[in-house]
Each structure stands twice: as structure tokens, then as C-alpha cells.
Copies of this chain bind each other. A is one copy, B any other.
Amino acid sequence: MTDMQQESDATKQTQQARRGYHHGNLREALLEAAEALIAERGPDSFTMADACRHAGVSTAAPYRHFEDRNALMEAVGMRAFDGLAAATGGAKAPFEEGSVEAILAGGKAYLRFALDNPERFRLMFGRNPDLKSRPIVELAGRACFQNLLQSVSAYLATRGHAGADPMPLALRLWSLVHGVSSLAIDGPMDIIAPGNDPEAIIEESGRAILAAV
């Protein structure tokens, strides 16, 4: 009874996909389960066994689709980077490319993503001990950063520095926004300054950094 109830709870999400002995869509089911579990309890407390229970398969099954726990988390991380890229890219779209507003909107979207998906954010940027997780950042993270580089290039052009290397300024902005986001989701900011609005930090410091070219 306990077992049955547990199983029905755990598998209902992907139950429809389960046809018989063979799951049929296990790779995707595991990814979804891992995404949900990581979002809920954090990357550190994520376990393969939990993901298996959610997918309704034995604990050995995932290894047909992922080399190990780290590989599954890597795949989840990739998706998270896609989400971040979409969020920042979409946020700056309504504004004129290269405008201060477009850049700030991207930064605020980065912050909002972190606040809305703190555990995903931790998964993306918290270095995993295994070096295998490096490619996550290399591939997906670079795409994210392209957004910013492009905006900064356009901004520099409007300020009479067309063709200048956007990297230094982009790194300054990224550092600021990433710092605000990290402190906001990891707790210390709330503890040191409760009620503080992290978005305002991006707004004000962002403008200062942009103005100082």
C-alpha cells in the first residue's frame, strides 16, 4: 500500500509514456524528472534514485542513456543555459539595439532568471568537481554571452567607439549582474540588507559602468 501509493505519486507525471517493459521515452522522462528535482531541492541533493522513482524505472535503467549522474546533470545544465539565453535575448528585444535600456533589460532578465530558478542557476555556475562539466559552460554559456557582446558592440558604436573590442566592458557588466544575482539567491544580500532591491543595483551601477567608457 505504501509502495503502491508512492509509485502512483512518483510516476504519474510520466506514467502515460510508460508502455510496458520498455519505457519508450526514458531519456526524456529522466531529463524532466531531473529538471524538476533539481529545481526543487538543488543540484547537490539530487539523486539518480529519485529520478528513477519519478520515471517509474529501476535504478539501473538511467545508465543506458547517461554515462553517470554527472552526465544527466550536464544535460539539464545545457537546457538551463538555453533558458537563460532566451530570457536575456527576449528582454532586450523591445529596445533599440545598443541602447542603455537594452543592455540593462538583459541584465535584469539575468537577475530575474536567477531569482526564478535559483537551483538551476547554481547548477549552471557552481563548478562541478568533475572536469567533465566544463563543456556545459563552453558551449551553452558562450551563446548566452554573445547576446551581451553584441549589445555592447552596438553601444560602443553609438558612443563613437565603433570597432572597439567590446569584451572589457561586457565583462564588467557581466560581473556586476552575476554578482547581484549570486548574492541575491544565495542569501547574504537579504541578510545584510533586508528589503533591498537587487534590480536597482543593476540599474544604477550598470549606468555608471556604461557611462565610464
Spell out A's residues near B (CB within 8 Å): 41-42, 44-45, 122, 125-127, 129, 134, 137-138, 141-142, 145, 167-168, 171-172, 174-183, 185-189, 191-193, 196, 198, 200-201, 204-205, 207-209, 211-212
Contact = CB atoms under 8 A, between A and B. Distances in A.
Contacts of A138: 191
Contacts of A200: 168
A204 B212 contact: yes
Contacts of A45: 129
A205 B175 contact: yes
Given A129-B41, A191-B138, A175 B180 contact: yes
29 contacts: A41-B129, A42-B127, A44-B44, A44-B129, A122-B126, A122-B127, A125-B183, A125-B188, A127-B185, A137-B187, A141-B192, A142-B191, A168-B200, A168-B201, A171-B196, A172-B201, A174-B179, A175-B179, A175-B201, A176-B176, A176-B205, A177-B179, A178-B179, A179-B180, A179-B181, A205-B205, A208-B208, A209-B209, A211-B212
A192 B142 contact: yes
Q: How many copies does the complex hold?
A: 2
Given A44-B44, A167-B193, 14 more contacts: A122-B127, A125-B182, A127-B185, A137-B187, A141-B188, A142-B192, A168-B201, A171-B193, A172-B204, A174-B179, A175-B180, A176-B176, A179-B180, A205-B212
B174 A175 contact: no
Contacts of A177: 179
Contact of A183 (B142, B175, B185, B192): B175
A22 B207 CA distance: 61
